[in-house]
Each structure stands twice: as C-alpha cells, then as structure tokens.
A and B are shown apart, each in its own frame.
Chain A
C-alpha cells in the first residue's frame, strides 16, 4: 500500500492520539485525522452498532462487508474490548483517558456517558443528528431524517413529486467532517493551555448552514425557496440530455455574460432550429431568460444540440469556450476521468481483511512541506488490540495474558 517514498518529516498530526468511539454516523472524522498522521484507534465493543445495510459489498462467494466501513476506517487501528465485564470497562476508560481527542457517536458511547463513566480528559467531540442539548439526545434519525431536519431535503427533488434525498449518506460524512473540525479546534485550545474542550456537533445544524441562499431569502424576503429539480431556473443553466446521459451547464445567474454569449455562439454553430433567435437583445437579460416561456424555448433548442454528442465531448467542447459545463458522471465514469487519472487521484489498497484490492479516492487535499501518512489498510475489528494496549497503556505481556484469560480482549 505504501507506494510513495518515506516521508521526510513526521506527518502533520503524528503525535496526536485519537480514540474513535463512533458508529457509521461519525467515523469519517477519525479517518480524516488518520490521513493526517494521527494515531486513530477505533473502539469496538459488543454494543457497537451494525453498519447500515446500504453499501454492503460482497465479492462473489465472500461475506459482505460494509463499503462505508472500509472507507471510513482506512489508516486507523482497531481494538476490541468486552465492556460487559468491569475489567473491560476499566480498560476502556483508561484508553479514553490516554487519548488527546475522543470522538463519539452512536448509542454505545451515549449509554456510557449516561452512566456517568469518564470519557477522557482532553478534547471530547460528540457528533449526533440533533446534538446533545434539549431533546436532541432522545431523538432518532438516520441520513434521510437528518437531511429533512436540516432543511436540505426540502430543496432536492422534482416540483411534481416529494422531496428527494441526495445520494450517499451525506449527513454521515458531513457530520464526520465537522467533528474533525471541532476536534482540531479543541486540540488548538488545549495546546494553548485550556484544560479540556467539550464539543457537541449537531448534524442538523451542519445541514442548516448548507441551504445556499434559501435561508437568507426567507430571512430577507419571507419567501420560501422550493425544489426545482431538473427544471431550469433560467435559460442557460440546467441539465441537458446527450447520447450517453446528461450534461450540466451554468451560463445563467452565477455565470458571466460572456458565457451566455459563448453558449449562444456554440448553438448557432450547431445549426439547430431557433438558435439564431437567441441573439436577440432581450435574451441577454436575466429577466427575460427567467420567463417560463424563455426557459421552455431554450431547453428545446439546447437539447436538440446536446443530444448529438456524448457527455465527455460536450464537456470538452463547452469548456473550450469557457462555459461552466460538466458531465453527470457515474461512479464508473470517475475511474476513467482524465483529470483524476492525470493527478493519480485513485489509489489501490490491498485489504488484508477481505483479501481484495480496493480502490479508494485519494485524500481530499494535497500538501507541500506538510506530510500526510502512508496509507495502511482499514483494520479488521480488533486487529490491533494488543499493540494499542502496549503503545498507549504500556501493557506488558503478563497483563495482556490476564486480560485474555478474563475474556476482556480476545
């Protein structure tokens, strides 16, 4: 898995210990910190919640594992402790106490705290759908429900049907990102001399800040923005059919006057019916382009041109004219996307738990003069129990043997 030269200097977060006691809804936080070199130890107990059934992946003849789990646990270590025993609970408390950062999500950690057990001494980040104040801890949610509570669901989908959620458990990843942010802010405060930092991340609040101009629109004008789906908000901006799918184009409100002119120029070159009429002066005003009749007329003209090309052809063609266009890529399309290929974005990892070669997206950023970690495969649950107890607690062989005998560790 390590296909790069050894690092010149330790990774950015190399001396930072993170106890990752999260479920699927918060585990991405630890992944991000692990990428940056933190020693992120996943805590597995008998009470750990199962991974959601969506995104289960099984190679033919193999037991299914969660692709979400493999993704968010890359670069971590894993300990498994039987917390049904009091020795196990003590061991867990001790581990949490040695972490610079403890991140929690899910029922197991919440029960632990409810019972008044200690949750570390430095930075503690709790991430949950509704946060830890008021009724928050009592409310149940999954991705769909959290998207609804945060308002983002109301903006997705078609005007003639119910609101439709965006793909891919975005609230779990968004919660993880914001938990990582909170963890690092907390660490900065502790490094600056604060005794401890307790941060409670509400994913509902995360999503409520992602409503684009819709919250401000309501605040300033009282009008409630509704979902528009694939329908155009204005001529020049929308989703258009092509031979192998769709292309998205933005040459409207957020685009530039040049982009609109350039798009009209391209349509005229395609010699499609009605294109010449778009050169009339009224079409250069946003007001005209927002008329329903204008939108309908434009959609027809545009699609009669786009339907002749593939999405990748249109992407190159329109971008060559400085028009913000993009293919609606499938997951398979990403694997052959030229820009990602050129930047060697995807990486192969030999996953020793499943015995498979797994493709991962690279980290979301690259660094110069700052070092990120060489990747290690996502652990099988409990893979690193003894080594972590040695590293974090200084446990000796005798102590480990006793813990095994007592069934605290396997």
Chain B
C-alpha cells in the first residue's frame, strides 16, 4: 500500500526547508506533487552545497535532491504578471495547496485560501509561515536554527558553563515542523474523504517547535524549575553519556538506569568496582559522576566501537555507536529495512535517497524518482493537465512566464 495517496494532486509552493519535506512525504506515498519554482527565483537549496565534484548549476544540489524526490517541477515565474493566472488554473486541478512563505505572499498572487476555495471546494490549504499569520513578529525572518533558539530548544542544550549548542542543524525544519504539518494535513484528508469538507491549516514553525519542549513548559508551570545545560547527563541515570572508542573521533553512547545494568556494564568493561561505595547506587553514581565517566571512558577507549556496542547490547544494555552521516549508510538495521535507495539523477548521477521511516505491511515505502530538474515537467503539465495548445505553451515560454 505504498501508493495510499495516489490520485491526490498537490500544488506545492513550499521551498527551502520544512515545507519541502512535508510534500516529499506526500510524494513518497503516491501523491502527485507539482512543485512551483522558477529560474527568476530558484529555491535557495538549488544553489546550496553539497555538489558532487565536477557538477554545478541549478540541478546539481544534493541538499535540494534530499527533500524533493518523487516530485514534479513546474517552472513558473511568479514575478511575471501573467504567472498567477497560470497558478490559479493549476489550483483548479489540485485539491491540496501548500506553501511556507511569509504571510501575505500567496494572497498577493490571488492564491490565498479564500481565493482558491472558491474555485476548489473541499480544498485543503496548508500554510507554514515562520511565526504564523498574525502577531507583532509575523513578518520576521528566520531559519531552522533561529527557530530552535527562539523556541527554547537551544538554551538547555550543551555542556555546563559553555555556550548553548542546540542540535548543530536546522532541526525544526527536519522533524517537528514537517512532522506536525503532515499530521494535520493527513487528518484533514481523512476528514475530507469522510465528509467532503476541506479547510485551512496554519502551522507557525515557532509554535510547532515550542511543542517540542512542551514537557519542560509543563514542568516549569508546576514547579518553577527550568532545565539547565547538563551535556549528556540526565537525572536518574548514570553512566549516561558518550564515551570515546578506538580511533579518531569515534564514540559510543551508553545509558544505564538500574544498578543491575551498572553491574552488567562494569562486567563487560572489566571494571572491578563492586566494592566501591561511590558507584553502588544510582544516587551514589550521580554524586560521583565525573569520576564514573572518567573510569568508563578509560575502559571504552580501548574498544573498537561496533564490537563494544555488540557486547553491551548482548548484555541487554542501551548503547549505540555515535553514527556519523557516513555510518548511517552502512547501518545494518537500516539496510535490513532497505531504507536507502539509489536513484538515478540526470545531472548528479546516482543519489542515495531516504525511504519513509515506517515499513508498511512488511514493505518499505521507497522513493522511485530523483528530484526533478527545474521545470522538468512544465510542458507535460501545461499540455496534459491544463490543456494548453502547443502555441499557447510556446508563447508563455517565450514571454518568460513558464521559466
């Protein structure tokens, strides 16, 4: 059932970050996603590295490719006065419209929710402005990394006494915001299939990211306590940290919550500490955590990381190699799930692309076509979907509308 969304056509104005991942998920599940972009203002990611050495241009970005698989690209220069009429024609054939511009942009083009629902009953309209469409800061600029800071996710992340570090990525763009948006959008689809009614969904990326510190908000309101930067340490568990292994910059994450687990860990690491009161209970281990970490690290450092992970997991302990962005391609479990697929791209050559994170009735939900070239499907969509004549299409191309 990989094509659960087949038959669904999506007019997609999302670009750069979070929005593009929402529509990639729809496309993975069989929706026809028509991405609107143009040479006049290409998606920023089309010019963002990484590039395979020797390839350049608007069709060569690996960053862009990683979030636009299975989509179609329709080149439409929204700066051209005739463009919004073409977009509205497209909207008549699409029952979902998505965007992540600042408030007012879609409305200026006559593509606001109220404009489009008039021509498309049952329309589901997703808008993902950074701070929502109302409020004093609705026009503010930002990226995933600034949203994470604003939302309270960065301040408690890091080592004590040092500058906060967050995830090191534009995390809100990758997990919370596309994820929450998909939940809302799919629920709206369920509702529409059952009732015929559509509606508008507004996801403020700021608010959606605050939901990821929701438990800390609840705790603060109950106790007045705020989290502080504790590195990898957490209450109620020790050892609970990242330890060095053989080689350069190789690490293993280990989490021990009970005394029995501690005994198992000490046995694997050949630490003879059974008589040492400093480490006999969780409370004692928390109290002597710096010494504990030093002892554990002293032992893990002589282990090969994968071998140690295997031994610890055999002993029933929560442990994993700190996998790098290279390791995840070789990961045994992800391979068993057939998670990465190699797609052929006309400019980039073979590109490895992620499947959905779920396996469905035993089968992966994998991408089938690499990210589109800019405007790759303009002609096909113009003629087949919009019913343009060859002459009309050529004229719009010549006039720089379809560009």
A188 and B207 CA atoms in complex are apart in Å by 27
Q: When the two chains form their complex, are residues B217 and A333 in contact, meaning their CB atoms are under 8 A apart?
A: no
**A218 surroundings in chain B (CB, below 8 A):** 324-326, 329
Of B147, B153, B186, B331, most A-chain CB atoms within 10 Å: B186
**B169 surroundings in chain A (CB, below 8 A):** 152, 155, 210-212, 214
Q: When the two chains form their complex, are residues A219 and B352 in contact, meaning their CB atoms are under 8 A apart?
A: yes
**A52 surroundings in chain B (CB, below 8 A):** 234, 236
**B44 surroundings in chain A (CB, below 8 A):** 254
A308 and B131 CA atoms in complex are apart in Å by 27
Q: Residue of A at shortest CB range from B60?
A: A220
A133 and B211 CA atoms in complex are apart in Å by 31
- Looking at the assembled complex, report how far the CB atom of B229 sits from the nearest CB atom of chain A, in whole angstroms: 8
Q: Residue of B at shortest CB range from A65?
A: B222
Q: When the two chains form their complex, are residues A177 and B217 in contact, meaning their CB atoms are under 8 A apart?
A: no
B:278-292 near A, CB below 8 Å: none
**A54 surroundings in chain B (CB, below 8 A):** 234-237
- Looking at the assembled complex, report how far the CB atom of A202 sits from the nearest CB atom of chain B, in whole angstroms: 6
**A283 surroundings in chain B (CB, below 8 A):** none
- On chain B, the number of residues with a Cβ less than 8 Å from chain A's Cβ atoms is 150
Q: When the two chains form their complex, are residues B325 and A158 in contact, meaning their CB atoms are under 8 A apart?
A: no
Q: Is A319 an interface residue (CB 8 A)?
A: yes
**A332 surroundings in chain B (CB, below 8 A):** 220, 226
Q: Is A90 an interface residue (CB 8 A)?
A: no
Q: Residue of A at shortest CB range from B339?
A: A205
Q: When the two chains form their complex, are residues A358 and B231 in contact, meaning their CB atoms are under 8 A apart?
A: no
Q: Is A221 an interface residue (CB 8 A)?
A: yes
Q: When the two chains form their complex, are residues B358 and A368 in contact, meaning their CB atoms are under 8 A apart?
A: no
A:357-377 near B, CB below 8 Å: 357-370
Our count of residue pairs bridging A and B at CB distance below 8 angstroms stands at: 527
- Knowing A202-B333, A329-B152 are in contact, say whether A53-B1 is a contact too (CB < 8 A): no
Q: Is B36 an interface residue (CB 8 A)?
A: no
Q: Is B42 an interface residue (CB 8 A)?
A: no
Q: When the two chains form their complex, are residues A194 and B222 in contact, meaning their CB atoms are under 8 A apart?
A: no
Q: Is B374 an interface residue (CB 8 A)?
A: no
- Knowing A163-B251, A360-B218 are in contact, say whether A138-B313 is a contact too (CB < 8 A): yes
**B197 surroundings in chain A (CB, below 8 A):** 9, 369-370
**B175 surroundings in chain A (CB, below 8 A):** 170, 174, 177, 206-207, 210
Q: Residue of A at shortest CB range from B217?
A: A361
- Return the CB mask of A165-202 against B: 1 if under 8 Å, else 0: 11111100110011011101111110110100111111
**A343 surroundings in chain B (CB, below 8 A):** 132, 134-135, 204, 207
Q: When the two chains form their complex, are residues A364 and B211 in contact, meaning their CB atoms are under 8 A apart?
A: yes
Partner of A57, one of B53, B63, B218, B244: B218
Q: When the two chains form their complex, are residues A253 and B48 in contact, meaning their CB atoms are under 8 A apart?
A: yes
Q: Is B90 an interface residue (CB 8 A)?
A: no
- Return the CB mask of B25-64 against A: 1 if under 8 Å, else 0: 1000100000000000000100011111100000000110
Partner of A148, one of B191, B203, B242: B242
**A356 surroundings in chain B (CB, below 8 A):** 221-222
**B357 surroundings in chain A (CB, below 8 A):** 178, 201-203, 205-206, 209
Q: Residue of A at shortest CB range from B325?
A: A214
Partner of A145, one of B4, B180, B255, B360: B255
At the interface with chain A, which of B80-88, B158-166, B375-383, B390-398? B158-166
Q: When the two chains form their complex, are residues B131 and A339 in contact, meaning their CB atoms are under 8 A apart?
A: yes
**B244 surroundings in chain A (CB, below 8 A):** 162
At the interface with chain A, which of B71-79, B136-144, B266-274? B136-144
A147 and B231 CA atoms in complex are apart in Å by 14
Q: When the two chains form their complex, are residues A209 and B174 in contact, meaning their CB atoms are under 8 A apart?
A: yes
Q: When the two chains form their complex, are residues B237 and A212 in contact, meaning their CB atoms are under 8 A apart?
A: no
**B164 surroundings in chain A (CB, below 8 A):** 230, 239, 246, 328
Q: Is B388 an interface residue (CB 8 A)?
A: no
Q: Residue of A at shortest CB range from B230?
A: A167
Q: Is B116 an interface residue (CB 8 A)?
A: no
Of A58, A212, A250, most B-chain CB atoms within 10 Å: A212
Q: When the two chains form their complex, are residues A163 and B322 in contact, meaning their CB atoms are under 8 A apart?
A: yes
At the interface with chain B, which of A67-75, A76-84, A265-273, A379-387? A67-75
Q: When the two chains form their complex, are residues B320 and A145 in contact, meaning their CB atoms are under 8 A apart?
A: yes
B:322-336 near A, CB below 8 Å: 322-329, 331-334, 336
Q: Residue of B at shortest CB range from A15?
A: B194
**A406 surroundings in chain B (CB, below 8 A):** none
A205 and B197 CA atoms in complex are apart in Å by 34
Partner of A209, one of B163, B199, B354: B354
Q: When the two chains form their complex, are residues A164 and B320 in contact, meaning their CB atoms are under 8 A apart?
A: no
Q: Is A248 an interface residue (CB 8 A)?
A: yes
Q: When the two chains form their complex, are residues A325 and B146 in contact, meaning their CB atoms are under 8 A apart?
A: yes
A156 and B171 CA atoms in complex are apart in Å by 11
Q: Is A97 an interface residue (CB 8 A)?
A: no
Q: Is A296 an interface residue (CB 8 A)?
A: no
Q: Is A402 an interface residue (CB 8 A)?
A: no
- Looking at the assembled complex, report how far the CB atom of B96 sits from the nearest CB atom of chain A, in whole angstroms: 13
- Knowing A177-B176, A221-B50, A367-B199 are in contact, say whether A204-B220 is a contact too (CB < 8 A): no
Q: When the two chains form their complex, are residues A145 and B318 in contact, meaning their CB atoms are under 8 A apart?
A: yes
A167 and B154 CA atoms in complex are apart in Å by 8
Q: Residue of B at shortest CB range from A316?
A: B137
Q: Is A229 an interface residue (CB 8 A)?
A: yes
Q: Is A305 an interface residue (CB 8 A)?
A: no
Q: When the two chains form their complex, are residues B165 and A346 in contact, meaning their CB atoms are under 8 A apart?
A: no
A253 and B61 CA atoms in complex are apart in Å by 14
Partner of B216, one of A55, A214, A241: A55
**A167 surroundings in chain B (CB, below 8 A):** 153, 156-157, 213, 216, 227, 229
**B111 surroundings in chain A (CB, below 8 A):** none
Q: When the two chains form their complex, are residues A230 and B179 in contact, meaning their CB atoms are under 8 A apart?
A: no
Q: When the two chains form their complex, are residues A57 and B136 in contact, meaning their CB atoms are under 8 A apart?
A: no
Of B203, B204, B326, most A-chain CB atoms within 10 Å: B326
B:106-143 near A, CB below 8 Å: 113, 131-132, 134-138, 140-143
A:311-368 near B, CB below 8 Å: 319, 322-335, 337-340, 342-343, 345-346, 354, 356-368
Q: Is A154 an interface residue (CB 8 A)?
A: yes
7 closest cross-chain pairs (CB), A and B: A53-B236, A216-B62, A370-B199, A359-B221, A67-B219, A214-B325, A177-B179
A209-B174, A369-B200 known; 8 other A-B pairs, CB under 8 Å?
A: A12-B188, A67-B216, A70-B222, A152-B167, A167-B153, A185-B29, A199-B359, A239-B164
Task: Give 22 A-B contacts (CB < 8 Å), ordered by A residue.
Answer: A15-B194, A53-B235, A53-B237, A57-B219, A67-B218, A148-B320, A154-B251, A154-B323, A155-B169, A158-B165, A166-B153, A168-B212, A199-B360, A202-B357, A328-B155, A330-B156, A331-B156, A333-B155, A340-B206, A358-B221, A362-B207, A364-B180
Taking beta carbons and an 8 Å cutoff, which residues of B are in contact with A?
1, 4-5, 16, 25, 29, 44, 48-53, 62-63, 65-66, 113, 131-132, 134-138, 140-143, 145-147, 149-159, 162-171, 174-176, 179-184, 186-191, 193-194, 197-204, 206-208, 210-223, 225-227, 229, 231-232, 234-237, 240-244, 249, 251-255, 257, 313, 316-329, 331-334, 336-337, 339, 348, 351-352, 354-355, 357-362
